[in-house]
Amino acid sequence: MRTITTTEELAAFCAAAKTAPYVTIDTEFLRERTYWSKLCLIQMALPGKDGDAVLVDPILGEDMSLEPLYDLFRHEATVKVFHAARQDLEIFFVEGGVFPVPLFDTQIAAMVCGFGEQVGYETLVRKIAKANLDKTSRFTDWSRRPLSTAQQDYALADVTHLRVIYEWLSAQLAKNGRAPWVAEELAVLTDPATYTIHPDDAWKRIKTRTNSGRFLAIVRELAKFRESWSQSQNVPRSRVMKDDALLELASTRPTTMEELGRSRLLLREGRKPEIADGILAAIQAGMAVRQEDLPKPDIQPDQPQINGALADLLRVLLKAKSEQLGVAPRLIAAASELDAIASGRRDVEALKGWRSEIFGDEALRLCKGEIALTAKGSEIRAIKI
């Protein structure tokens, strides 16, 4: 196996990849001790059973530029194939500000081809490539060098089997006409907003049962400080403070170091002066927010507003459609979306794009009383009224 550690070697491989119809790509990284993922290894393979497969080692090649790879990403004549690409794409977007175009994600393609929700790579290798993976290196520390032969074999298997999987799924999409479904899902993966976390919006991800505007204002300021600090220092959010500690501080509202020291949930790292000062300043900022500027909770429709019988009918319709098409129900619509539709909301993903064509349009007709559901044996059908 070949390991690339120089810009010149990487440029030569990427030049060869530009002449190929596709290239399979995967990464190994660590994120336990940092905010941003630490890229440890890149694996790539060209088409064909005996096609060239390489490891690109940015740790051994610390002076290597990844610009040849980014140039390949921009080369539209070669499809860049990943499996469950989201975390890989985040790494390349953060480090290089680029997305691979065109992109193919075998996990998304497999879901629309009937392999269920969020199907794993190992499953596709077994069912499509008719092979088994050696899982002994799955939880390895990819930042340590040298890599063992077993580690290198494991890493390369993530792109060599991917060639067979891609070719099979690509052919299936051509047969079933669902390539546009995949394209819609990939649009989310290549949207910078998917990977851009603004500190001002960080509070919206924190689950709280309190609707007090003042409490939420303090939560907002604490979450903003935590996100900004974590990004600037490249440390995990939990190293600054965990969500439970953040909510505790929003409730107790300490104003001095002594009061902050009484926190039950704040870890030692959060008690360091540089972080503690930021916490106290955030609490003060939250307390100073004017009444008219207090954040408002995102209140979803209450359960009593949901038409329970209609929600049950929508579930039956979804099950019938998913069985008919061989697609996991969750891929088409979540249970919460069915409840939202039954309560009168129309701003859900299940009513947009390809989902509207196979389910959403009929779901709305069912809500309007334009169709009914009938059973014939084990088959559920929609009939016009």
**Would you state the pLDDT for residue 223?**
98
Mean pLDDT confidence for 12-40: 96
**Would you state the pLDDT for residue 194?**
92
Quick one: fold of 2-194?
Answer: Nucleotidyltransferase; domain 5 (3.30.420)
pLDDT digits (tens, 9 = 90+) for 178-236: 999 999 999 999 999 999 889 999 999 999 988 899 999 999 999 999 999 999 999 99
Domain ranges of the chain: 2-194, 199-293, 303-384
Give the CATH class of 199-293: mainly alpha
**Would you state the pLDDT for residue 328?**
85
**Would you state the pLDDT for residue 298?**
66
Mean pLDDT confidence for 291-318: 82
**Would you state the pLDDT for residue 18?**
98
**Would you state the pLDDT for residue 300?**
52
pLDDT digits (tens, 9 = 90+) for 141-156: 999 999 999 999 999 9
CATH number of 303-384: 1.10.150
Name the residue among 60, 52, 70, 73 with its Cα closest to residue 6: 60
Asked if pLDDT for residue 316 goes beyond 90, the answer is yes
199-293 and 303-384 agree in CATH topology: yes
